[in-house]
Amino acid sequence: MPPQTKLIFDVHLDLSYNAIDFNRDQRWTQERIRRRELGMTDYIFRTRNTVCFPEMRRGNVGLCVATQLARYVDYFGRMPGWASPEQAWAMTQAQLAWYREMESCGELVQIRDCAQFDAHLKLWLEPAAGATAKRPIGYILSLEGADSIVSFKHLEKSYADGLRALGPVHYGPGVHGMGTDAEGPLTPRGRELLKEMERLGIILDATHLCDESFWDALKHFSGPVWASHSNCRALANWNRQFADEQIKALIGRGAVIGMAFDAIMMVHGWTHLRSKPADFNLKLEKICEHIDHICQIAGNAKHVGIGSDLDGGYGTEQTPLDLDSIADLAKLDGLLAARGFTPADIDGIFHGNFVNFLRKVWK
């Protein structure tokens, strides 16, 4: 397959979560991972994975924001998670150890600052003649849900380990605020967390903040803000997505919003564990509607990118019918061009908008 012309910067991939929690070796081919999972019944998404390093390279996904994820759930909580923040912290450190091993074997390279960022972009945008197909994939470390931050010393250690973006909450109530499907403002500790993030220069990820916590966070945080993987509530009516007023507020803060490819976040009326993509004839074209909606609000194409969330606790049972692999994100090139987006617009959506955002933050 000839190399893709456009680099893709995917700002939300749960790589270590899949490696550690689901025991997927991301170095394997997609087919090999699927064959290994034949007969497994612990999760509905077994044999339906979309992400692995070979498929990322095939799709020219040479740069990503990769997560650590471990939720704390209190004694009476019903959601999956760890019994203490300390246990959650230990899990994030296991995930970090996996990233380090992938660096050691040449699969990944961590990016922490502008110099590393620009060098990696040059590697993927201007590959030397005869360069091998196995260039390292660049990753920027993010934390999805901050329950594992036992103390602000832990946050400082994480920053020293390369953490550059953080979402204070995930699903339900959290230590620092209220997440998806919960209600309420940030906790006092959450507001203190924002102060420490601002001091360190950590990006606030507005994804998963419930409405009240979202507005509370924007009020109490003056640093850089993005939304790694959120779509438009006008097109997928669930509090997990942003209402138009929230999109306007993010644009006003200079944020970029990453489009997610989970079907429940793309259409109205999806019923978890019951609906199927075929019920909606769901195709990649639908995400173009979300992209266009944000562009119409912004008046330009500079505030939207890709944060696929592929393999984020689901597989092809919950993706568009024409997306079998992360490499299929490249199909957006033609789909967006057909809707009148210019080559410069598409480059921005594929990688340029988030690249420009980080250059401003890290300058």
Alpha helices (runs of H) in 13-113, residue ranges in sequence order: 15-21, 30-36, 53-58, 85-104
Token pair, residue 284, equals: 């990649």
Classify residue 49 by its DSSP letter: -
The reported pLDDT for the residue numbered 134 is: 85
Handedness of CA 196, 252, 185, 80 (dihedral sign): negative
Higher pLDDT, 339 or 77: 339
Angstrom CA distances, 230 to 219, 242, 243, 261, 318, stand at: 20, 7, 10, 9, 16
What per-residue string of b and e applies to 65-88 under the rule 16 or more CB within 10 Å gives b?
Answer: bbbbbbbbbeeeeeeebbeebeeb
d(CA 190, CA 169): 9
Q: What is the mean pLDDT of the chain?
A: 96
Domains of the chain, earliest start first:
9-362 (3.20.20.140)
Burial class (CB in 10 A: 0-12, 13-18, 19+), 23: exposed
* 212-248 pLDDT per residue, tens: 999 999 999 999 999 999 999 999 999 999 999 999 9
Question: In terms of Cα–Cα distance, which of 166, 161, 133, 122 is closest to 147?
Answer: 166
Contact 116, 162 (CB under 8 A): no
Q: Is 109 helix (H, G, I), strand (E, B) or coil?
A: strand
Identify the bridge partners of residue 64 per DSSP, sorted by sequence position: 10, 139
The reported pLDDT for the residue numbered 77 is: 83
Classify residue 171 by its DSSP letter: B
Contact 226, 203 (CB under 8 A): yes
Q: Residue 2 — pLDDT band, cuts 50, 70, 90?
A: very low
The pLDDT of 40-46, averaged and rounded, is: 97
* 162-213 pLDDT per residue, tens: 999 999 999 999 999 999 999 999 999 999 999 999 999 999 999 999 999 9
User: What's this model's pTM, rounded to 2 decimal places?
Assistant: 0.97
d(CA 313, CA 50): 11
Angstrom CA distances, 341 to 223, 296, 307, 333, stand at: 31, 12, 19, 9
Identify the bridge partners of residue 166 per DSSP, sorted by sequence position: 143, 204
Count other Cβ atoms within 10 Å, centred on residue 122.
11
* 319-333 pLDDT per residue, tens: 999 999 999 999 999
The pLDDT of 252-267, averaged and rounded, is: 98
The reported pLDDT for the residue numbered 5 is: 67
Checking if the pLDDT of 133 tops 70, the result is: no
Alpha helices (runs of H) in 221-266, residue ranges in sequence order: 244-252
What per-residue string of b and e applies to 227-265 under the rule 16 or more CB within 10 Å gives b?
Answer: bbbbbbbbbbeeebbbeeebbebbbebebbbbbbbbbbb
Using a pLDDT cut of 90, give the percent of the chain over it: 94
Checking if the pLDDT of 71 tops 70, the result is: yes
* 298-354 pLDDT per residue, tens: 999 999 999 999 999 999 999 999 999 999 999 999 999 999 999 999 999 999 999
- Count the helices and strands in the chain (H runs, E runs): 13, 9
Q: Greatest CA span in the chain, whole angstroms?
A: 59
The pLDDT of 151-156, averaged and rounded, is: 98
Count CA atoms closer than 13 A to 362's CA, side-chain side: 17
Contact 154, 89 (CB under 8 A): yes
